[in-house]
Amino acid sequence: MIDFDPTRPKWQQIAETLRARIADGTLPPQSLVSEVQLEAEFGVARGTVRKAIAALRDDGLLVTTPGMGSFVTATED
């Protein structure tokens, strides 16, 4: 669990945390990003996690496949 900044939306802070994990390799390409696990880890509602995932999907960092989940996209190094 992280200490949330009360002046900013939680979904943005979760998205930043996930963005950092993708950048440092903690979440390598093709890794599953589980809504259930994130919900438990951050102690937030599923809708909050979904907003964070949607933001990362919009940035091209995640791809979501219906029925399978969200996965980290391959990096272009």
Domains of the chain are: 10-72 (1.10.10.10)
Alpha helices in 1-77 (DSSP H): 10-23, 35-42, 46-58
pLDDT in tens, 38-56: 999 999 999 999 999 999 9
CA atoms of 26 and 21, how far apart (whole Å): 5
pLDDT value for 74: 83
Structure token pair of residue 47: 């809708």
Question: How many other CB atoms sit within 10 Å of the CB of residue 45?
Answer: 12
* Res. 77 pLDDT band, cuts 50 70 90: very low
CA atoms of 30 and 73, how far apart (whole Å): 6
